[in-house]
Amino acid sequence: MRRWRLSALLAMLLIYGCGGGGGSGGTVTAPVGNVQPISVNSGPTGQIPNMVMTSVTICVPGTSTCQTIPNVQVDTGSSGLRLLASAITIALPPVTSASTGNTYSECGPFADGVVWGALAKADVQLAGEKASSISIQVIQDNASVPAIPASCSAQGAPQDSLALLGANGIIGVGLFLQDCGSYCVSNTAAIYYDCASSGSCSEVTIALVSQVSNPVAFFVQDNNGVVLKLPAIAANGAASASGSMIFGIGTQANNVLTGTVIGVPDTGASAGSFLAMYKTSTTFANSFIDSGSTILYFDDAAIPACASPSGFYCPGSATALSEIPINVTIIGSNGLSAPVSAAVANAQFLFTQPGAANLNAFDNLAGPAGATLPNAFDFGVPFFFGKSVFTAFEQRSTPNGAGPYFAFQP
């Protein structure tokens, strides 16, 4: 059975409460191209449907030595660009410690494993916009030095190959400016490491300017958030779905928000999350919206789980399309709320129906969250179909108020 990806989760933010810092929210009025094409498909491996993919151009900072890398997953549940080393053909300068001269490396924790690799500086270009000389992570998939530290691998299985990652990389365009923020400026947390040429690595604190950063937040303009816009699809699935990632919120005519603003904390144990009220009586306090999760994840013992494929819900018939409706109310830290209506179909039917081998996008797949996502409703890719979903960045102003927040509208 095809593998499905449980994505970014804001793992370090939910644990540490990392509010970021740095950068400006300045506005430039001259419009530029702010629309990046995205596609929902099964990725370069053909094994993980509901992957939101795009291409990213990276350059040696301040030069025209550039490379466009396709099949990069778009993830509103993390911050920062991470690329497989084997996908990069240009020589990017490393990010080094001013005190030791050694290269910084990072252990990036995700819900389904960790990514390990060195930091490098790059100009990152998307549509007509550019983030200049920001830190990205180069996922180590073609070298053995430095070896992944035990304190990193203890957090999860390494996602260190195309087959395991399901993409050439991940572009995190989530709520936060950096992936760890002020916490890692003052604390070591098995996230950032100083690695000597001998291969020995030590946990270290790290300045904001050196941390892996959300590229969109460091554009010259349209830098206060992103909008993911995907079409509605048929209940039995689609071969693929084409949409747009639009940069900025309320900065150009194509990114005006009229939906309800769902505020989320930027620090503390609930950073990046909101309350989801399910079936009027069940609350999930650590809920979030995440284009890097390929299905909806939530716990409901009343919905039958699949015997095969495991990890999914299988209500109704396995031989005909049958959906059950679910209704959730999202409640933000600002006290505002918005209803969500969705459906859960029998995964076994969707995967075995006539023509199933050609279907790679589904709006009605769900599965148990379990211990991996305690007390959470993870609004993954099925939530995005038929909507414009807004992710507003921390420390950035918008016409609808300051981020961080989520919002959505049909």
* pLDDT, tens digit (0-9, with 9 covering 90-100), for 324-374: 999 999 999 999 999 999 999 999 999 999 999 999 999 999 999 999 999
Distance between CA atoms of residues 157 and 283, nearest Å: 30
For the residues 56-85, what does the mean pLDDT come to? 98
Cβ 52 vs Cβ 167: under 8 Å = no
**What domain range is 181 assigned to?**
11-22+29-218
Residue 2 maps to a domain: no
Instruction: Give per-residue pLDDT as tens, 278-288.
Output: 998 899 999 99
pLDDT at 7: 55
Q: What is the CATH number of the domain that holds 299?
A: 2.40.70
* 62 and 162 in a common domain: yes
Indicate whether 209 and 268 sit together in one domain. no
2, pLDDT greater than 50: no
Give the mean pLDDT of 65-72. Answer: 98
Residues in contact with 127: Cβ distance below 8 Å, sequence separation at least 6, in sequence order:
32, 33, 34, 35, 36, 247
Domain boundary among 218, 246, 268: 218
Domain shared by 205 and 116, yes or no: yes
Task: Give the integer Cα–Cα distance in Å for 214 and 208.
Answer: 12
Average pLDDT over residues 189-195: 96
Confidence of residue 20 (pLDDT cuts 50, 70, 90): low
The number of domains in the chain is 2
Which of 162, 186, 218 represents a domain boundary (last residue)? 218
Residues 214 and 284 in one domain: no
Please report whether residue 230 resides in a domain: no
The verdict on residue 140 lying in a domain is yes
Alpha-carbon gap, residue 269 to 20, rounded angstroms: 14
Kindly state whether residue 170 falls inside one of the protein's structural domains.
yes
17, 143: one domain: yes
> For residue 1, is pLDDT > 50?
no
Q: Does the structure show a pLDDT above 90 at 247?
A: yes
Domain contains 245: no
Same domain, 125 and 265: no
**Terminal-residue alpha carbon distance, the chain:** 33
Overall pTM > 0.75: yes
| Position 239 in a domain | no
Residue whose token pair is 């620090």: 267
Distance of CA 392 to the CA centre of its chain: 14
Q: Are both 389 and 302 inside the same structural domain?
A: yes
Is 308 among the domain residues? yes
Q: Of the residues 186, 218, 250, which one is the last residue of a structural domain?
A: 218
Q: CA-CA-CA-CA torsion for 269, 110, 82, 245, nearest 10 degrees? A: -70
Q: Is the dihedral of CA 124, 182, 399, 231 positive or negative?
A: positive
CA pair distance 292, 128, nearest whole angstrom: 24
- State whether 173 and 33 are in the same domain: yes
Together in a domain, 49 and 188? yes
- Domain co-membership, 112 together with 162: yes
Q: What is the pLDDT of residue 4?
A: 61
- Domain assignment present for residue 167? The answer is yes
Helix (H, G, I), strand (E, B) or coil at 268: coil
Q: For residue 269, what pLDDT is reported?
A: 87
Task: Return the pLDDT at 112.
Answer: 87
Clarify whether residues 341 and 209 are in a common domain: no
User: Rounded to whole angstroms, how far apart are CA atoms 56 and 214?
Assistant: 13
